[in-house]
Amino acid sequence: MRHKHTILFSTVVFFVGCTATLPVNYAPSNLTQGSGSIAVNQFVYAAARDGKLPPNQPEEYGIGTILLSPDIATLFSDAVRKELRFSGYDLSTSANVSIGGIIDRFSYDWVGLSTQHVDVSVVFQVHRAGKEVYSRKITSHKEMPKAPGYETEAIKSAISDCIQQFIADIHTKHIL
């Protein structure tokens, strides 16, 4: 009996103290076409800004800690840049139109036996000549099976879905 408690205690200590860093390499997939110059400002990860989490740690529901490489604000900002460039936009820091926003929620639930869940909620803001012309919260939820080699696919899919919803919305509303 004492041996079982020792093993159980050792297992709990091991898993509670584990930290894993997931490298996320985002590739654009947006099919919307556009043109013109756009500046993409750095998005802000609210949980890091408010001191609740490190900049590379999603909200999570697991034992241990999951960290992302790169940090969440950089990952998301770079993903927006890649999607816009892929769509045909020229990226320029001096453009009249700028895009930025706040990542309100970025959660990664990897505890389930067979699935992982990612929730992303971002307030996108578009400014033209310094004046806000668009602001909308866009959310995405993705669920994918747990499988070796696919640890980051749900993360990339949720980011992509969020950005594609944004691009579709600004095109529909003729913001760009």
Which phi and psi (to 5°) does residue 98 adopt? -130, 150
- Element counts in the chain: helices (H) and strands (E): 4, 9
- How far is residue 14's CA from residue 104's CA, in Å, rounded to a whole number? 31
| pLDDT (tens digit per residue) in 69-85 | 889 999 999 999 999 99
Would you state the structure tokens that stand for residue 158, as one six-digit string?
């949720």
User: What pTM did the predictor assign?
Assistant: 0.85
Amino acid 31 reads L
| pLDDT (tens digit per residue) in 98-154 | 999 999 999 988 777 788 889 999 999 999 999 999 999 999 999 888 887 777 899
Q: SS3 sequence, 56-117?
A: CCCEECCCCEEEEECCHHHHHHHHHHHHHHHHCCEECCCCCEEEEEEEEEEEEECCCCCEEE
The domain locations on the chain are 20-172
Q: What's the CA angle centered on 150, arms 84 and 163, to 5 degrees?
A: 20
Closest CA to 91 of 26, 170, 34, 16: 34
Question: Which CATH number fits the domain 20-172, given the four candidates 3.40.50.10610, 1.20.810.10, 3.40.50.880, 3.90.1410.10?
Answer: 3.40.50.10610
